[in-house]
Amino acid sequence: MLPVDFHCHTTFSRCGIHSVMEMLLEARTRGLAGLAITDHGPELRSRVSSTFFERLRDPLPGIRMLRGIEANFCGTDGDIDVPLEWVHWMDIVLLGIHPNTAQGLGVDVYTRMVVTAIGKYPCIDILAHLNDPAYPVDFDAVARAASAKGVVVELNNSKTELARAGDDVTLALLAACERAKCRIAVNSDAHAINEVGCDSAARALIVKAGFPETLIVNSRAITAFAFVEERRVNKVGTAPVA
């Protein structure tokens, strides 16, 4: 079980089936120290509003709620849909490629999108589910770009648990991160309470790869929260880099 989970979805997303409080309650019951609520950005027609970021602060005693978002790409130029006027309230910003982006564009296009976004948006903290076979990227190129900016690559438990990404692909991603000394975050990508904090499928691949624990930002609660504070400077007066 993860000490801090940086990726989950609630009814604010069209794909989540439980409320914020239900997800937090389950996380607390399972012994997590923190849970990031990272519903999708507006490009996927989520219901997240400024009220969530501005007014909802640690609503449940005994667990820290991290306010976040999973941003989406807006086309192929590296632009993303994170509402910049809300970023200074956010604890964590994820970015993933999703079905709103044109399908079948190929490795070069998807790699360029991700690398461009990393350089353009300092608020991005974690690159979500890069091992998604529907949107292949050059793992080495992305890991190098992420490492240079202090951005973390996600090892998504859900993709492995639900067999949506082959183990060979995920192991290749881990190898690229190790070569680039790029840190990772192991996340559940929970869409329901039974998935909150789960990491068993991802953990098995970490062990198989012999991936160093020192490169896993949320291996312990103290390092997870330190990562959040480390990245907070990138959310003050955030604007895309011209």
Per-residue pLDDT tens digits for 22-45 = 999 999 999 999 999 999 999 998
Vertex 175, ends 169 and 176: CA angle to 5°?
90
Question: What residues does each domain of the chain span?
Answer: 4-235
Q: Give 239's pLDDT tier (boundaries 50, 70, 90).
A: low
Please compute the mean of the pLDDT values over residues 52-74 and round it to a whole number.
96
What stretch of H or E contains 77?
Answer: none
Q: Are 126 and 99 in contact (CB under 8 A)?
A: no
Instruction: Tell me the mean pLDDT in the region 62-77.
Output: 96
Q: How many CB atoms lie within 10 A of CB 105?
A: 15
CATH superfamily of 4-235: Metal-dependent hydrolases (3.20.20.140)
Q: Are 36 and 8 in contact (CB under 8 A)?
A: yes
Instruction: Give yes or no for residue 238 having a pLDDT over 80.
Output: no
Contact (Cβ atoms closer than 8 angstroms) between residue 197 and residue 187: no
Q: Is the dihedral of CA 228, 21, 63, 153 positive or negative?
A: negative
64 forms beta bridges with 34
Instruction: List all residues 6 or more positions away from 152 whose beta carbon is below 8 Å from its beta carbon.
Output: 125, 126, 127, 146, 182, 183, 184, 185, 217, 227
Confidence grade of residue 80 (pLDDT, cut at 50, 70, 90): very high
Residue of 235 and 141 predicted with greater confidence: 141
In which band, very low, low, confident or very high, does the pLDDT at 240 lie, cut at 50, 70 and 90? low
